[in-house]
Amino acid sequence: MTTPLDRDGIAELIPHSGPMCLLHRLVQWDLQQIVCLANNHRDPVHPLRSRSGLLASALIEYAAQAMALHGALIGRAAGLPVRPGYLASVRGTQLHVMTLHDLPQAGSAGPAAAAEPDELRISATRQAGDERQILYAFTAHHGSRLLAEGRAAVVLNTPVSLPHALRDAPPQEQPPTPPQDLPRALP
């Protein structure tokens, strides 16, 4: 499915806004995968930039935002409210560069590279999942160069993401609490 979205449209669907919305364009998506672009990796005031520049580990956040957008698009297509997800773990991640702000400019590697835009291409593919968690594989490219790859688990069943009816339901019967006047055991 192709739903053209620019940065403002993306920011409406993910929990990040302002400069922390790192993605600038949705390229394509379907029920299994999403591809997004970002062009802010050279920004001197990038919110994830350190004194050393924009470290490649920031690509994990770019991928997490693509995953969040994917979940929001699937929910919206199904007529469901957007459920927040939380990045639970990242595994098997390989960073193939140290920094992003100093990647070679488009065109600096010869005529073939001149046609490549100076953008980060973030892809996330759903590997498995259910109503409580999703496992994604992700990649990040600059032109044809692979910058990072890995897997991420997103958890959906946290109290914050439960529907209000479940979250506000009366608690199930709890075991009785001991009287407060009993002496406490010594450590």
What CATH number should be reported for the domain holding residue 129? 3.10.129.10
Position 92 in a domain: yes
Question: pLDDT per position in the chain (187 positions), as tens?
Answer: 666 799 999 999 998 889 999 999 999 999 999 999 999 999 999 999 999 999 999 999 999 999 999 999 988 888 888 778 889 999 999 999 999 999 998 666 555 555 678 999 999 999 998 888 899 999 999 999 999 999 999 998 655 444 444 444 455 444 444 444 444 444 4
Q: Indicate the pTM of the whole model.
A: 0.80
CB 37 within 8 A of CB 81: no
In 3D, which of 98, 100, 101 has the Cα closest to residue 44?
101
Position 63 in a domain: yes
Position 87 in a domain: yes
Position 11 in a domain: yes
Position 27 in a domain: yes
Q: Which domain holds residue 137?
A: 5-163
Task: Look at residue 63 and give its three-state secondary structure.
Answer: helix
Tokens for 19? Answer: 């400069």
